[in-house]
Amino acid sequence: MPFTTLSLAQCRVRLDDRERLEVILPGFSGSKGVYVTNWSSLPDITTLTVHDRTLTETVAQEKAITPTDIRRCWLELATSGIGGQTLAERAREELADAAEVQVATRVMLLLDNIRRSGAEIGPELLARLGHPDGEEQVRALLAGTAKRIDCDVATVDSHIEELAALLGTLGLRALPKPGRLRELHFRMQEFSHAIENWSRTTVSDTAHIGRFAAMSAEHSAVVAGRAIGRVDALLGDSIKLMRDWEAGRKTLRAELLRIAWLLDGWDYVMRIWEDAVGERMAIDVAVAEIGRVVPIVPVKEVQDESARKSVELFREYRSRVRIFEDWLSGDLDEDMIARPGTGKQGART
Q: What is the DSSP code string of 163-204?
A: HHHHGGGT--TT-SS--HHHHHHHHHHHHHHHHHHHHHH---
How much of the chain, in percent, has pLDDT values that exceed 70?
A: 79
Is the distance from CB of 207 to CB of 290 less than 8 angstroms?
Answer: no
Cα separation, 77 vs 88, in Å, equals 8
**pLDDT of the residue at 162:** 92
| Residue 119 pLDDT exceeds 90 | no
- The DSSP 8-state label assigned to residue 25 in this structure reads E
Taking alpha carbons only, the member of 105, 236, 106, 234 closest to residue 180 is: 105
Q: Which range has the worst mean pLDDT, 13-17, 139-143, 247-251?
A: 139-143
Is the distance from CB of 170 to CB of 225 less than 8 angstroms?
Answer: no
163 pLDDT band, cuts 50/70/90, is: very high
**pLDDT of the residue at 16:** 85
342 pLDDT band, cuts 50/70/90, is: very low
pTM across the whole model = 0.81
The larger pLDDT score, comparing residue 32 to residue 56, is at: 56
**pLDDT of the residue at 339:** 55
Q: Which range has the worst mean pLDDT, 52-56, 287-291, 321-325?
A: 321-325
**Residue 263 to residues 92, 187, 233, 334: CA-CA distances in angstroms?**
21, 11, 20, 40
Cα separation, 323 vs 332, in Å, equals 9
Cα 46 from chain centre: 26
Mean pLDDT of 143-169: 86
- The DSSP 8-state label assigned to residue 322 in this structure reads P
| Residue 227 pLDDT exceeds 70 | yes
User: Tell me: the pLDDT tens digits for 100-113?
Assistant: 999 889 888 888 88
**pLDDT of the residue at 348:** 36
User: Tell me: the pLDDT tens digits for 168-213?
Assistant: 899 898 888 889 999 999 999 999 999 999 999 988 888 888 888 9
| Residue 229 pLDDT exceeds 90 | yes
**pLDDT of the residue at 230:** 95
